[in-house]
Structure 1
Amino acid sequence: MTTPVWDPAQYLRFADERTRPLHDLLARVPALPDPDRAVILDIGCGPGNSTAVLRERWPHARITGVDNSAPMLATARTEGEPTADYLLADARDYDPAPARPDLIVSNATLQWIDGHLDLVPRWAAALRPGGTVAFQVPGNFDAPSHTLLADLRRSTRWRDTLGSDADRAGVHPPERYLDALAAADCLPDVWETTYLTLLPGPDPVLEWVKGTALRPVLTRLADPAERAAFLAEYGRLLREAYPAGPHGTVFPFRRIFAVGARR
């Protein structure tokens, strides 16, 4: 898998829209045993927008944001939630057990990790008794935004430069997350929602995916001319798939939510 070079500014162009699912996720987190002394881990914290939401919900908790992108963490420390602690680490290797967390949250991160179901029992086992693990992932990989990108990468023009779509993100059906949480001795609460996001401006879907799904492609396209040509072709396909309406461009976005309270 190509490790994307993240752009905090591009990601935060749609900060409100990207953060809304986190609010919906946290609404289903059971009350923490001692919220004023709680230990919370934000795994895959990115530029700190998710960490700021956690601080708003639990103002006195000890919160640590974990991410494998130094630029994202630099933004988190200055523009996200400056009162939190931050740790540069890969979620695949990070061991949360020494922190003895009351809550582990992951907002739109697991889809980038191959074999991420294996993290569920590890995270659940790290929780204090009565603790909770909560995560949400995008479930729109069959949407035009992703299928068009995969087809374009495999086209004659781009396949030698970009290869296949083997490094694209991926998730499991909701029931797999429910089974994983139940097997980890957690009471599972799993659901899905499709948001109809109204995006403003020209080429808004392209601007959205530039911050997420398109990052591995942009990382490979070092030549400015090639990058511009690819974006022009992909942008045209997106405009056809998501035509602008009188009030903006409607971008349907399915997400999968999972909360597991340790028994």
Structure 2
Amino acid sequence: MDLVRAGLCLISGGAYGVDAAVHRAALRTASMQPDRTAAHSAGGEGAPAAPTIAVLAGGLDRLYPAGNERLLQEVASTGLLISEMAPGSAPTRHRFLQRNRLIAALSMVTVITEARWRSGAQSTAHHAFSLARPVGVVPGSVFSASSAGCHRLLRETPAELITDAADILTLAAGAPTVVGVPGVHQPTLPVTVTTRPQDGLTEAQRLLYDALPARGLSSPGKLSGVAGLPLPKVLAELSRLQRSGHARSANGQWGQA
């Protein structure tokens, strides 16, 4: 894959479908580069960048889905497995939604290749927007439900149209530097440390703030799905975020202040 050959690390969630295809392509491409393999065998400073990272929704000892266990073991040996959950933690729907914000935060560029009208991929894209990271979208057939979310992002957000690897590399060249992960190559760009609006918020408030659109407004019901929080909790925390100056409201719709 051209992105791995360019020295970039591909980050995904280890799930079936597109996630698995991304990890497999990265691992296969890395194995075909003799200089990477030789350097990795020797260790030390010449060791190659991790070609791919899988961010898990459960503990690192809970490789999920089970059908991808062997693939995730390969990712662990050649790339990296990452989780914010303690060992033994089961992957739940709420944790999958939480995991998406980590994928967005670790990535210079988020690329959506398939997404239904309501999907976890869209939540990842919105987390990226909240971090001011570029988002690219691969369009699909107008008759495909798996592309409905892609077209929605292209129509309703500042997402860029992606047609090939060159488009992604162009987005990456203009992306801000993110906090690095050991062993993961990233372009050398100036790093600016700033105070984030989320600082000082509770975990639930941070999840909800990340789900709020920076431009436009969203309903509490949609925010509940994106943030992975029950609707009563969303309504209570929205009021608190409004009082603290983090959220704005108009006609029952909400956005970042």
TM-score category, normalised to shorter length: 0.3 to 0.5
Q: Which has the higher strand share?
A: 1
Structure 2 length-normalised TM: 0.35
If asked which structure has higher relative contact order (CA below 8 Å, sep 6+), I would say: 1
